[in-house]
Amino acid sequence: MKKTWLQLFGLILLAGLIAGCVVMSVYPYYTVKDLTFDAGLSGRWAKPGATNGFWEFAPIRNKYYLVTTVDGQETNRFDGYLFQLKGQPFLDLCTTNRDGFNQLPLHLAVKMARSQDELQLAALNYEWLGKLLEANPATLRHIEVPEKPLETNSNKIIYLTADTRDLQKFLLKHQNNTNAFTPLDKMQRLAR
């Protein structure tokens, strides 16, 4: 479990996110009717000047993407589902490098914007969400799991357990809240 979290942190650090955790959901953020496809997303993207890290989007039958992130020696893979909610594009990244047979395919929501050769991503802000749920636990269905189950003072990990419909309502309600999403560095398309 620890190795998987470290790999996920590597993904987020690659993109420039310096928050301590990521918001993971048991259910996907999209329904089939929300899915879209952008062939222009295909290829490698990196922060300007980056020499050892990139994100690569490889289309799978023009339905979704295999998203590979590389940060030095660390490689992570996700199934990436591009979807739109009221015209705003989002990416649902579903973990694929699960190490154990009991691990769930967890989902990460990323708000995105893309021009011809620039890609901007913003992940849900874990710290902001934690404070929101602490103040009003009924805001969005979730569970909190101790990072170290036998230690009473262990940090808690938040997992969203709300269904897709409620997740989408939440994304739409907070899509313009600058605190709700952690901006990631802008990336540029790498030459093919």
Pairing status of strand 187-189 against strand 43-46: antiparallel
For 28-40, b/e burial (b = at least 16 CB within 10 A) is: bbbeeebeebeee
Residue 100's pLDDT is 62
Q: How far apart are CA 65 and CA 94, in angstroms?
A: 11
Residue 72's pLDDT is 85
Residue-wise pLDDT tens for the chain (192 aa)? 434 433 443 444 333 333 347 899 999 999 999 999 999 999 999 998 888 889 999 999 989 999 999 988 888 899 999 999 999 999 999 988 666 665 778 999 999 999 888 999 999 999 999 999 999 999 999 999 888 877 777 688 999 999 999 999 999 999 999 999 997 778 999 876
- Give the domain ranges of the chain: 2-189
Element (H, E) at 135: helix 126-135
Q: How far apart are CA 144 and CA 3, in angstroms?
A: 20
Pairing status of strand 142-146 against strand 74-85: unpaired
Dihedrals phi, psi of 167, to nearest 5 degrees: -60, -45
Angle at 140 between CA 131 and CA 184, to 5 degrees: 60
